[in-house]
Amino acid sequence: MAPYVAALRPARIWSSDLARASQTAAYISELCGVPVVTDERLREYSVGSRSGMTRAEFEETFPREYAAWLAGDESILLPGAESTADVLARMVPALRGYLESLGAGETGVVVTHGACLRAAMLELLDLPQSADEAFATMGNCTWTTLQENVFGGRLRIARYNTRCTCGRCWRGRSSRFRVDARFSLNSVELPGIA
């Protein structure tokens, strides 16, 4: 995926400071010569007390919270876990700031994580969070491209959950998200951000 994103000639690269995203951003940086700026606001949802647990361990250890999680009920969270509102409160201002920092015709790349990126993408597109069910889970090493609409400046989805087809990049892992146009998240690339 890194060669495809680097080919967009990003002016800036922002990344979550967590290992997997940082490593991906470093590959992109190496190919295009643009330094990576890490930002902890781009981290994945904190899952609090269930961190490091498998899904089965989560269900066995915290059955009430597990049932709430499956139902999408954020009124019952484990200690230290973030709600979608918490994630949006840190991610959306970061992403909007990145977009505003890009000059005309510049592309930026954001490398982050699928669940937080999907929630932030819905917010950037002025869609309700309930619309997330209409979008497939973002895989690792995939990208989504958001572009500015030339008629109104609003963002639109140009590509979603795109995967490299070269045969070398995808080895049965899930993907990342990139937005074209100005911005890329989890490898999302927006008009100005790739």
pLDDT of residue 172: 44
Strands 142-148 and 155-163: antiparallel
With a cut of 60, say whether residue 72 has pLDDT above it.
yes
Structural domain for 52, as ranges: 47-81
Q: What pTM value is reported for the model?
A: 0.81
How many domains is the chain partitioned into structurally?
2
Q: Are residues 62 and 117 in the same domain?
A: no
Question: Last residue of some domain: 81, 97, 127?
Answer: 81
Q: Are residues 89 and 26 in the same domain?
A: yes
Q: Are residues 15 and 55 in the same domain?
A: no
Strand ranges (DSSP E) for the chain?
12-15, 36-38, 108-111, 142-148, 155-163, 184-185, 188-190
Q: Are residues 126 and 157 in the same domain?
A: yes
Q: Is 143 exposed, middle or buried (0-12, 13-18, 19+ CB in 10 A)?
A: buried
- CATH number for the domain harbouring residue 12: 3.40.50.1240
For residue range 78-128, what is the model confidence (pLDDT) as tens digits? 999 999 999 999 999 999 999 889 888 888 999 999 999 999 999 999 999
Q: Which of 27-31, 99-103, 152-156 has the lowest mean pLDDT?
A: 152-156
Dihedral sign from CA coordinates of 171, 177, 179, 184: negative
Q: Are residues 71 and 108 in the same domain?
A: no
Name the pLDDT band for 153 (thresholds 50, 70, 90): confident
Q: Are residues 177 and 96 in the same domain?
A: yes
For residue range 157-187, what is the model confidence (pLDDT) as tens digits? 888 888 877 666 544 443 333 333 344 444 4
Tokens linked to 123: 């917010």
Q: Are residues 9 and 42 in the same domain?
A: yes
